[in-house]
Chains A and B, each alone.
Chain A
Amino acid sequence: MRKILLASCFGVAALFTAGYAAANDELAKMSADAKQWVIPGGNFANTRFSELKQINTQNVHKLAPAWTFSTGVLRGHEGAPLVIGDVMYLHAPFPNTVFALDLNNDGKILWKYEPKQDPNVIPVMCCDTVNRGLSFGDGKIFLHQADTTLVALDAKTGAVVWSVKDGDPSKGETGTDAPFVFKDKVYVGISGGEFGVRGWVSAYDMKDGKLAWRGYSMGPDSDTLIDPEKTTALGKPVGKDSSTSTWQGDQWKIGGGTTWGWFAFDPDLNLMYYGSGNPSTWNPKQRPGDNKWSMSIWARDVDTGKVKWIYQMTPHDEWDYDGVNEMILTDQKVDGKDRKLITHFDRNGFGYTLDRATGELLVANKFDPKVNWATGINMDKSSPDYGRPIRVKAMSTEANGEDVNSKGICPAALGSKDEQPAAYSPETELFYVPTNHVCMDYEPFKVSYTAGQPYVGATLAMYPPPGESNMGNFIAWDGKTGKIVWSDPEQFSVWSGALATAGGVVFYGTLEGYLKAVDAKTGKELYKFKTPSGIIGNVMTYEHGGRQYVAILSGVGGWAGIGLAAGLTKPNDGLGAVGGYAALSNYTALGGTLTVFALPND
């Protein structure tokens, strides 16, 4: 009965599933306690905002490392640890070690879990063996392994409670994303868009690992869980076979649309949100049609997987602009009216704000002024092209065709932003966005599909925008108006997830390895410290024993480790400042380390 009463604080929907409501309510309650960090994005809304303010704009310059921890792995380290009570849970890239560290005892290892996985999964992980972290619920820690095994560990002992295989790595299906706990289920996405994997999201019962539902990104309505009459796109029912009718033959079976980003959940609407990735192959000529529902924002009922609404951002992708990036849920006033919003910074360079209840498109603007593949998004509701990008023909690799090198396309395939999640502060009502500032030449050509082998079909060369030397910016963005408020240039792409705090300080990491703190209002740099390796992890914060800590995983790798390790392109072709082309390997070396910062004890 007490649990039922608690539940009422966290949404009416929970009441109707009383038997299962407890776990969700527990997590919602825990995530409201700023001392802990219990969800990968800090909370269901993915805002990566903390109410902690012991560290603030006045004292952050005194910040110093308090303790460090090595994962013993040299690959790229994405994601961030969780803090539940007195214990920190930390993950590593392949072999996907999990550590439980005792915060009462200088991070002593309480338990360690290391799965046995077939190393043949390593080369089918496009772009390094990264893992984006853990989730917690019902006394269990959930890990999504490289080989797609979802495992539930007893949070106290590390013992395996249950384990289930979600995909088949021999077909290029791999696990890189964090699992997500919403209500009574654990949700995982799949990676392998460069291997012709048809993406899906699976929902498993948190108690026993039984599959509750699976929704594919493409295929018949029975696979996508799209209801032709009830599922809407931009306010209209999508109609029958909305996916298969946009593919030639059965190409959708190897059509991509993988789902490895950061999912969000609205308990009141009972909807979960995530993005689907690029259609396979990268050669657009080989897959005529809109290739639905690749490149889309999805809103699904968490209990059934049924799709409430969907929006395809980049129909018939021609540049590998995956739509997987994080979904951030906020409640703000737009044109004087309170709106429940979802904001998404897409690889394609546009920042989208939609009504998250209905999928109505409110704002779609470039968050990097250099974006040039489209002039804008058609916002005319009466147009048949409403919601579609207005493409620039010279940048169209489809129009230019196979075996033609399309030059000077911005952004590059890694997007104006990749998976590195942005943060949102309700105090400033601004988003803090780590971005890439890189352009490319792109030449598509014919490829053949073999299960478990790369299925790419394009060659590309990347470089900073002509005349500029910085390959990244850290920006503040107003999602209501679609405008950049301030922008801090960075030499390399910013590949670290941001953290916003009530102390008025925003944190992020850089590929050289700096943890940086900036003023949330102005972007002014207030503090920096060089960690042992380049940062592609996400900043998080927690409080323990009355002290606020800020933690960041360093360990360079991932896409950034490919594109930037040796410098992007010709070192001496004189397009930009020499610094812009300098190899990242001149700044940092491999190694996974967690660095935890605090203010000195006076």
Chain B
Amino acid sequence: MTTFRLMLGFVLLLTAAPFVARAEPPGDPAAVKQDEQGLWHDKSGDPTFKIESDGTVDWNAFSGFRRYNAACIVCHGPDGAGSSYAPALANSLKTMNYAEFFGTVVGGKKDLGSGNDLVMPAFADNKNVMCYLNDIYVYLRARSTGAIGRGRPDKHAEKSAAFTAAEDKCMGPG
């Protein structure tokens, strides 16, 4: 848990600065570089998806699909398509960049007093979200461009040993 909080603090520091500087839509999602844990990045360094010509989606995007469906679906609906009381993230991410996404998930959001009070909780303490935040972002980014359609991706890359190790470390025992 301590490791997790330290890591989270570190990530927050990293993202705090760019949040102010880059209130602009996410750029070209083309994947240019893969890090040692298998996560793809675009040319600005933001996490992104990579889909092979045979339709195989990268592991992180698939992991994001799974975690989205456990933590986010109860409000944001299946496949980021929205519900009767929470926005369709497949649309939101067309204009929301990585830093804004990160900040909203960590800190939550409130829109009250309209007869449809909208409140998103802060997920900073939730390992099921924070350990997979890049994955969820990558999945929703792919949904926002249409690179991944509705439903479960048919084919996906295998989980790497490096991903498993990082996942186990972040999630901890039990």
Contacts and interface: CB of A to CB of B under 8 A. Distances in A.
Interface string B102-134: 000000101010111111110101111100000
A123 interface: yes
A490 interface: no
A85 interface: no
Interface stretch (B11-19, B34-42, B46-54, B68-76): B68-76
Interface in A184-235: 194
A115 interface: no
Interface residues of A, number: 51
Contacts of A72: 115
Nearest to B4: A448
A122 B118 CA distance: 8
Contacts of A122: 117-119
Contacts of A561: 83-85
A569 B150 contact: yes
B109 to A, nearest CB: 9
Contacts of A448: 127-128, 171-172, 174
A445 B119 contact: no
A565 B76 CA distance: 10
Given A123-B120, A448-B171, A570 B149 contact: yes
9 contacts: A74-B116, A120-B121, A123-B108, A450-B125, A458-B69, A459-B152, A562-B83, A566-B81, A567-B150
A14 to B, nearest CB: 43
A109 to B, nearest CB: 17
Contacts of B129: 453
A456 interface: yes
A448 B82 CA distance: 25
B26 interface: no
A126 B116 CA distance: 16
B4 to A, nearest CB: 9
**Central interface residue in A72, A119, A129, A457, by most chain B CB within 10 Å:** A119
Interface string A44-77: 0000000000000000000000000000111110
A68 B110 CA distance: 31
A568 interface: yes
A563 B71 contact: no
Given A448-B171, A557-B84, A562-B83, A454 B78 contact: no
Interface string A123-135: 1101111000000
A458 B128 CA distance: 11
B74 A74 contact: no
Interface of B: 65-71, 73-75, 77-79, 81-85, 88, 108, 110, 112, 114-121, 123, 125-129, 149-152, 171-172, 174
Contacts of A452: 121
Interface in A68-117: 72-76, 94-95
A73 B75 CA distance: 17
Nearest to A121: B119
B85 A128 contact: yes
Q: Sort A-B residue pairs by CB-CB distance and give the 3 closest, nearest first.
A: A561-B84, A459-B69, A566-B81
A443 B62 CA distance: 12
B65 to A, nearest CB: 7
A450 B123 CA distance: 10
A565 B77 contact: yes
B151 A461 contact: yes
Contact of B126 (A119, A128, A194, A453): A453
Interface in A455-480: 455-462
Contacts of A489: none
A455 B150 CA distance: 24
Nearest to A443: B66
Contacts of B77: 562-563, 565-566
A447 interface: yes
A443 B70 CA distance: 10
A571 B117 CA distance: 30
A75 B151 contact: no
A556 interface: yes
**Central interface residue in A72, A458, A566, by most chain B CB within 10 Å:** A566
A441 B128 CA distance: 21
Given A75-B116, A567-B150, 17 more contacts: A73-B115, A123-B108, A127-B74, A129-B117, A194-B74, A453-B128, A454-B128, A456-B71, A459-B65, A461-B152, A561-B83, A562-B77, A562-B84, A565-B81, A567-B81, A569-B79, A570-B149
